[in-house]
C-alpha cells in the first residue's frame, strides 16, 4: 500500500488509546489520526500531556463514523460491548477494524456470553474475525477486514506455549498452570484506592482468582491448536510497576517425553519456532543464555525480565525443565501496553495494509 494511511481511534482517552496514538504519531505511513472521546471539551494534550504538540484533537464517535469511508483502519480501545455496536456500520463502509476489546475474540458468540455475561449484538461477525496474534495467524490477518486483538495475558501466554503444542508437549487433556503479574496500567484509568502508588508500592495485588476471564480465551485457542480440550488454571496479580507482564506457565509433559527433555532441547524447539536474532520473528526473542552453575544456582540471566521489554513491541521468552516432576517451565514477558495491546494492533494494521510488519515498531526496550 502506498500513500498515507488515515486511521481512527475510538476510545482514545485511556492508557491503551494514548499508547496507540503515540505509536501512530511515529508511524511513517500514517497521515491523519482521528481520536474520539466521550467528552470532547477537553483538549487532547490536556488528557495526554506527553503528546503535547501532536496537533491531535478529540472528536465524538458520531463524527468519526461520518468520516469512516475516508479512514483505512479504525481501532477500538473501548470496554466490552462497544465495538460490536459500531463495527458492522464501519465494515459496511469498507473500513477495516482492529478491536482491542473482547468483543470479537470468540468465533462462537455463546462463548462471549458465557464469559462476559452479556448478549453479543453482532453474532454474524464473530466467525469472520481473525485473532490478532500476528506471529500465529499472519496469513489470515493479511486478508481480514476485522481483527480481534487478544488480551495482553493471552498474547504473552500463547507465544510462550505454542512451541510446546506444536511439538506434542502440551496435548489435549493437559492442564496448564499460568501465574501472571501485570503492571498497574492493566487496571485501567478508573481510580481505585488499591492501585494508588502509596498502596501498591512494595505490594502485590492478586485478583480474579475465582477463574480469570482470559482462561476461556486460552483454553479455546490452545485447544484449537492442539486439536482437543486443554484446561488452563490462571492466577493473576498486579505488581508494583506501571507497565509490563510476567507470565510463568507450568506444563506437565506426557510421560513418554520426559526422557528426552532438558533445557537445551527446549531452547532448540523455541529457536526453531521463532528464529534467533534477526532470523525469524522480529518481535519474539528467545533468551538462550547458557546456565553454568549447578542445580538451584540463582542464575537470573537465564530468564527474561519485564524491565527489558518496557516500551517495545517485543516478547522475550525463556524456558527450563524440572526433570524430577516432568514439568516444563515457560517465562514470557511483554509490555502490556505495547505488545499486549497498541503495538500488536499496529503490527496487525501493517499486515492488513501490506506494509512492512515492523513499520513504526522498531524501537527496543527502554
In sequence order, the 6+-apart residues with CB closer than 8 A to the CB of 320 are 263, 266, 302, 303, 328, 329
From the candidates 21, 77, 152, 315, give the one annotated as an active-site residue: 152
3-class state of residue 321 by DSSP:
strand
Judge contact between 297 and 291, C-beta under 8 A: yes
Q: What residue has cell string 505490594? A: 203
3-state secondary structure of 33: strand
Which grid coordinates are listed for 273?
A: 519456532
8 Å CB contact between 103 and 83: yes
Closest CA to 287 of 274, 260, 297: 274
Helix (DSSP H) and strand (DSSP E) numbers for the chain? 12, 15
Ramachandran area for residue 11 (φ above 0: left; ψ -120 to 50: alpha; else beta) = left
Query: In angstroms, rounded to a whole number, what is the distance separating the alpha carbons of residues 181 and 319?
Result: 18
152 is catalytic: yes
Angle between helices 152-166 and 134-142 (to 10 degrees): 100
Distance CA(224)–CA(231), nearest Å, equals 12
Alpha helices, H only, 227-317: 263-274
For residues 74 and 273, give the distance between their C-alpha atoms in angstroms, rounded to a whole number: 32
Under 8 Å between Cβ of 161 and 217: no
**Surface-to-core class of residue 189, CB atoms within 10 Å of its CB (0-12 exposed, 13-18 middle, 19+ buried):** middle
Catalytic positions are 152
Amino acid at each position: 500500500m502506498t500513500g498515507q494511511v488515515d486511521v481512527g481511534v475510538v476510545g482514545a482517552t485511556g492508557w491503551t488509546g494514548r499508547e496507540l496514538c503515540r505509536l501512530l504519531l511515529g508511524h511513517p505511513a500514517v497521515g491523519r489520526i482521528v481520536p474520539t472521546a466521550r467528552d470532547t471539551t477537553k483538549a487532547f494534550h490536556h488528557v495526554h500531556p506527553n503528546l503535547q504538540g501532536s496537533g491531535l484533537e478529540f472528536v465524538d464517535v458520531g463524527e468519526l463514523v461520518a468520516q469512516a469511508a475516508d479512514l483505512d483502519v479504525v481501532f477500538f480501545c473501548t470496554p466490552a460491548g462497544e465495538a460490536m455496536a459500531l463495527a458492522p456500520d464501519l465494515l459496511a463502509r469498507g473500513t477495516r477494524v482492529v478491536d482491542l476489546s473482547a468483543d470479537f475474540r470468540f468465533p462462537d458468540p455463546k462463548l462471549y456470553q458465557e464469559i462476559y455475561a452479556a448478549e453479543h449484538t453482532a453474532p454474524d461477525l464473530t466467525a469472520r474475525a481473525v485473532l490478532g496474534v500476528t506471529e500465529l495467524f499472519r496469513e489470515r490477518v493479511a486478508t481480514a477486514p476485522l481483527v480481534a486483538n487478544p488480551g495482553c495475558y493471552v498474547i504473552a501466554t500463547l507465544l510462550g506455549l505454542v512451541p510446546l503444542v506444536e511439538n506434542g508437549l502440551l496435548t489435549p487433556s493437559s492442564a496448564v498452570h499460568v501465574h501472571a503479574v501485570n503492571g498497574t496500567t492493566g487496571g485501567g484509568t478508573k481510580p481505585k484506592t488499591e492501585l494508588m502508588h502509596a498502596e501498591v508500592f512494595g505490594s502485590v495485588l492478586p485478583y480474579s482468582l475465582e477463574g480469570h476471564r482470559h482462561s476461556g480465551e486460552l483454553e479455546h485457542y490452545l485447544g484449537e491448536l492442539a486439536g482437543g480440550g486443554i484446561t488452563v488454571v490462571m492466577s493473576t496479580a498486579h505488581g508494583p510497576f506501571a507497565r509490563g507482564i510476567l507470565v510463568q506457565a507450568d506444563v506437565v509433559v506426557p510421560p513418554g517425553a520426559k526422557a528426552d527433555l532438558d533445557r537445551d532441547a527446549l531452547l532448540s524447539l523455541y529457536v526453531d519456532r521463532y528464529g534467533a536474532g534477526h532470523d525469524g520473528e522480529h518481535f519474539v526473542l528467545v533468551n538462550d543464555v547458557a546456565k553454568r552453575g549447578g542445580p538451584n544456582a540463582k542464575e537470573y540471566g537465564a530468564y527474561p525480565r519485564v524491565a527489558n521489554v518496557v516500551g517495545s513491541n517485543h516478547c522475550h521468552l525463556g524456558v527450563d525443565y524440572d526433570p524430577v516432576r516432568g514439568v516444563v517451565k515457560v517465562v514470557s514477558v511483554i509490555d502490556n501496553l505495547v505488545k499486549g495491546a497498541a503495538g500488536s494492533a499496529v503490527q496487525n494494521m501493517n499486515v492488513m495494509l501490506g506494509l512492512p510488519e515492523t513499520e513504526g515498531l522498531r524501537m527496543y526496550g527502554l
